[in-house]
Amino acid sequence: MIRGTSAAPLTPLTDEVVLGSTRVVPFEVPGLGNRTYIAVSDNSAILVDPPRDVDSLLGFIRDSGWSVTHVFDTHIHNDYISGGLAAARLSGADYIVPSDGGIECPAHEVTDGEVITVGAGQIRAVRTPGHTPHHMSYVLSVSGRDIATFTGGGLLYSGVGRTDLFGADHADELAHAQWRSARRLAHTVEHSSAILPTHGFGSFCSVGDAVVGEHTLVGLHTTNPVFLMEEDSFVHQLLENQGPYPDYFNRMGELNRAGTPADPPAMPPIRTLALAAEDAAAGKWVLDLRHRHAFADGHLAGSLSFDAAGAYVTYIGWLIPWDADLHLVVPDEATLQTAVIELGRIAINRVRSAALWRDGSINQSELASMRHADGRRLRAAIANDPELRVLDVRLESESERARLAGQRAIPIHQLTQRLEEVREWADGHEVWVYCGSGFRSAVGASLLNRAGIPAVHVDGSVVES
């Protein structure tokens, strides 16, 4: 059985891989910085690393006249809920996972070198530990030619997948394995093969810039640091640059091993904005998904800004207590439907209510506002007031590259635990919150305001303004 498409359908990208009747279609997964793939050969289709909301992917396959034979996961995912088991159950396909990953749900555990036939093509499993100990890459071959290699969280376009998700004690060992796995692919896969990673497009599972340049194995030989550096130097650089990752990553693996539900998260009831205002005043987690400028101009006192145009899913999962009930403020029902689905990708299922902005239940005079400024005004304010409080909420690696006068650097994911430190440092002064773009600074400024610390939201960069 294949159901209708979801309210937030995944849409195909244009950079397909095509050889005869074999076709690989990439799909971007918004908010997670990942991709998922459909490959088809002679009308037999496979899915690779699908997210939880598989309906639109299965609908794309159905509408194309194909049938799903296999669903592959390259590893037990840490940054999102896999849709692998759900897609397999809904389509009647086989669910394929790497052996030794500790899977607890029904699945075929593929071993290194195993070959699976898909239409006129074949999928060859290649063990590539590094991102995880059990990681597997899958090579799609047609008529003896390797045309695409699904590398998951292993070999990426401008780097590799991080190696510290199994703890610091294993990070060094897995970093060495990551370097060797890249070379194993170089020695066993045709160099003309397209490399198709899952991570590397903004995900915290990747290390390296989120760019797409060379995408063939031979091209990556001349651009990717894993091929340009000796093993020990590469490992040292990788370990130095992995940085923090969201706390919810520590929960995803266990959920994925157990097998995830086929049903999507439930839509919450829509209540009035006046009731949402009462929730915010009572200290409940009321999250406003409107644009951050609209939030600054008027919002419910005590609510937080998580602009849905930014990486709101990742930061809600990182900053809000995992077991918290969430109440959303949205501009329209389409935004609500998309948010529930996208939050469900990281197992946030506790959206208890939603309110539509401007539903007429609250007066403009009852709203709070937040000062905001661009980078040019911040530069001018720093020049006029050497004592200006500037809170930089970027990651440590970012703030070290471009420090600001009067700056106190606290990464956004640490801010809720360090609010009293900010209060003491601010000493009654306004705090200008900066992140270089505007999304994280809006989150940070709203957190400060919620705690009773006056804040100015700085939107944009001091360099570009």
> If pLDDT is split at 50, 70 and 90, which confidence band does 398 have?
confident
User: What is the residue-wise DSSP string for 260-276?
Assistant: --SSPPPPPPEE-HHHH
Whether pLDDT at 3 is above 50: no
Residues of the chain above pLDDT 70, percent:
95
What pLDDT, on the 0 to 100 scale, is given for residue 30? 84
- Average predicted confidence (pLDDT) for the chain: 93
Class of 17-258 in CATH: alpha beta
Confidence of residue 405 (pLDDT cuts 50, 70, 90): low
Cα 227 to chain centroid distance, Å, stands at 26
Q: Strand 285-288 vs strand 304-305: parallel, antiparallel, or unpaired? A: parallel
**270-366 has CATH 3.40.250.10 classification:** yes
pLDDT at 232 over 80: yes
Q: Do the beta carbons of residue 83 and residue 50 sit within 8 Å? A: yes
Distance (Å) of CA 295 to CA 84, 139, 375 = 37, 47, 19
pLDDT for residue 262: 78
Total residue count of the chain as it appears in this document: 465
Least confident of 9-18, 81-90, 159-168, 208-217: 208-217
- 20-54 burial, b at 16+ Cβ within 10 Å, e below that, comes to eebbbbbbbbbbbbbbbbbbbbeebbbbbbbbbbb
Tell me which of 159-163, 293-297, 364-368, 394-398 is least confident.
394-398
- Sign of the four-CA dihedral 119, 125, 130, 132: positive
Q: Tell me if 270-366 shares its fold with 371-459.
A: yes
pLDDT digits over 79-95, tens only? Answer: 999 999 999 999 999 99
Domain limits of the chain? 17-258, 270-366, 371-459
Tens digits of residue pLDDT in 428-459: 999 999 999 999 999 999 999 999 999 999 99
Pick the CATH number of 371-459 from 3.40.50.10420, 3.40.250.10, 3.40.366.10, 3.40.50.970: 3.40.250.10
- The pLDDT score that the predictor gives to residue 461 is 86
Whether the model clears a pTM of 0.85, i.e. scores above it, the answer is yes
DSSP state, residue 93: P
Residues 6 or more apart in contact with residue 385 via CB below 8 angstroms: none
Residue 227 region by backbone torsions, left for phi larger than 0, else alpha for psi between -120 and 50, else beta: alpha
